[in-house]
Amino acid sequence: MKKFLLLTLIASLIGSTKTNAAPTLNSYPAAISTIYLDFDGQDVKNSMWNYGTPFAAAPATMTDAQITEAFNRVSEDFRPFNINITTDLAKFLAAPLDQRIRVIITPTSAWYPAVSGIAYVTSFTWGDDTPCFVFSDRLINDGKRVAEAISHETGHTLGLYHQSAYTTTCTLTSSYHTGIGTGATSWGPIMGNVASKNLTQWNFGPTPNGCSFLQDNLSIITTKNGFTYRPDDFGDFYNTAGIVNVASSAFSKVGVISTSVDKDIFRFDLSQRGKFNLNANPYSVGNAYTGANLDVKIELQDSKGTTIKIYDIEDSLNAKIDTTLNAGTYYVIVDGTGNVNSKNDYGSLGSYTLTGTYIGTTVTTTTTTTTSTNSSIEISGTKVKGGNKLSWAKNTTKNGEAMTLVYAKENVEDFTELSRPNGNTTSYIHQIAKPEIYTYKLKIIDKTGSIRFSNSVTIDAKNNTGVFKIIKQVQQPVVINSSEGYEFQVVDNFGRVLQAGKAPAGTKSIDVRNYPAGIYNIKVSSESEERVEKFMNK
């Protein structure tokens, strides 16, 4: 049985009723998976929509400019993924049945009242061309509102439920998260109700099922639908950096930040001392970065990879460099970032443009960088729930200094950047996928570019057997043996919490035998560990 409305649909969509077709647009023609934006009108027959009664969905009464704006906004929402947003019916029909969805944008809305759109969860992979709908008449044909509805309903077809808002004490304040802030940096989750917000992103956050039931949008989209992220366009390492030719003074590059760990590195070789100006602007459909999904941050490094400066404008989505540099090799690293409204860089993904100029002078000088270890910088670490926690004193950095947390795995000599905490931060949790041996230290860079390091701390989690031992047997209670007190939840495959409680250390049986046949999750959480495991009732 298919999820959400628990209906099995077969949709036969034939015929177009619009004389003048929408502009032919494609966001990523090389992709196989396809989202078809159907503005042209459609005869909907033999479908469980409208209680099985055939009906004609009229063409959207939108101008080409409004259609193009909606298309561009939706394309940016899906820019990180290996999928094509298109208005071309031929592209849609060429895609595999179980890797495509038709979004019918229509003013024919009377058959489904009181909503701006409707979709079946997971229908993208059903393979029977069941469409979803966006009702343009209820959105006053506005390109922004129509685009938000298209991405939202398409998100449902890809397996996503609504995102909700809660207080710090887990009191539900809105089943549909309405976003935060005003202006260019105002933020909201695509699976909420955020037509009034500018920076709308995929989110890792709670659903109406509870503040502890978190929905990982990006993971669901890229693992459940036959496509994943688009190939990386510029390397994340120095030896694969994009080379920028500055010989003609002006330069430009276009790129995409496709994952939360993606960093695009560009190399600049300056032949002499000169004025270096660079602007990093996220994609937008108008002024003030309207329609942007990426809040961009850039870092300027010297030839050794030492940070010269990080550029991250708090109240804007762009970043820029305006400085004088000596002759030599430099790297600019482009990354997504969070702000006061979006909080983190999870959904800060999308396309950007680098533009700039380099004007050389006849004077050349050299700079030197020194490195030292300062034993007064102390870092400590311990294993906690979900990873390794690193801590340090509040006044570790002085004004103008930058802090970077670096780590190395067992038998690896080189340290890798992990995080760049701000000066007010005193801890960081490194979330790890599996137990390994990690060594950490802080790297502090002062105003002159000199570097000093803290002591090193090693955390060995290889031999950690875990707090919980969970025994799952068909047609038997789930047995949990724990060395700590903990909380537990039994959650069905739709995210509904069926049973919850607290238990002390020791052995406990959770009776699940009266639940219907199906797949369930048992979620356990203590001070030092959190686990989710599936089990089946037959």
Torsion, Cα of 457, 237, 332, 319 (10° steps): -80
Mean pLDDT of 449-469: 73
Three-class SS of 88-144: CHHHHHHCCHHHEEEEEEECCCCCCCCCCEECCCCHHHCCCCCCEEEEHHHHCCCHH
CA distance 47 to 129: 10
- Quickly state the pLDDT bin for 474 (edges 50, 70, 90): low
- Give the residue among 400, 369, 377 at the shortest CA–CA distance from 453: 377
Reported as a single tens digit per residue, the pLDDT across 510-535 is 888 888 877 788 888 887 777 878 77
Whole-number average pLDDT of the chain: 87
pLDDT at 101: 97
Q: Please say if the pLDDT value at position 370 is more than 70.
A: no
329 pLDDT exceeds 90?
A: yes
Q: What is the chain's alpha carbon radius of gyration, rounded to the nearest angstrom?
A: 26
- Fold topology of 1-229: Collagenase (Catalytic Domain) (3.40.390)
CATH of the domain spanning 371-460 = 2.60.40.10
pLDDT at 292 exceeding the cut of 80? yes
pLDDT of residue 538: 66
CB-CB neighbours of 168 under 10 Å: 6
- The Cα-based distances of 112 to 50, 108, 147, 252, 345 in angstroms read 8, 9, 19, 48, 37
CATH 2.60.120.380 domain extents, the chain: 238-360
What's the mean pLDDT in 188-213?
Answer: 95
CATH number of 238-360: 2.60.120.380
The domain defined by 468-537 folds into: Immunoglobulin-like (2.60.40)
Averaged pLDDT for residues 313-341: 93
- Residue whose pair of structure tokens reads 């639940």 in the numeric block: 515
Here the tokens at position 26 are 């494609």
pLDDT of residue 131: 96
Query: Which among 57, 38, 58 is positioned nearest to 47, based on CA atoms?
Result: 57
Mean pLDDT value of segment 199-221:
95
List, for residues 335-369, the tens digit of each pLDDT value: 999 998 998 999 999 999 999 999 987 433 333 33
Alpha-carbon distance of 430 to 345, in angstroms, equals 15
**CA 120, 123, 126 angle in degrees (round to 5)?**
145
pTM greater than 0.75: no
In contact, 126 and 7? CB cutoff 8 Å: no
Encode 251-265 in three state secondary structure.
EEEEEEECCCCCCEE
Tokens coding 20: 């003048």
**Residue-by-residue DSSP string for 382-413:** EEETTEEEEEE-TTSS-TT-EEEEEEEETT--
In terms of DSSP bridges, do strands 468-471 and 478-482 run parallel, antiparallel, or are they unpaired?
antiparallel
- Asked if residue 80 has pLDDT above 90, the reply is yes
- Specify whether the CB–CB gap between 526 and 486 falls below 8 A: yes
* DSSP state at residue 59: P
User: What confidence tier does 139 reach under pLDDT thresholds 50, 70, 90?
Assistant: very high
Residue with tokens 């230290």: 441
Alpha-carbon gap, residue 510 to 490, rounded angstroms: 9
Give span(s): CATH 2.60.40.3080, the chain. Answer: 468-537
Residue 208 · residue 161 · CB < 8 Å: yes
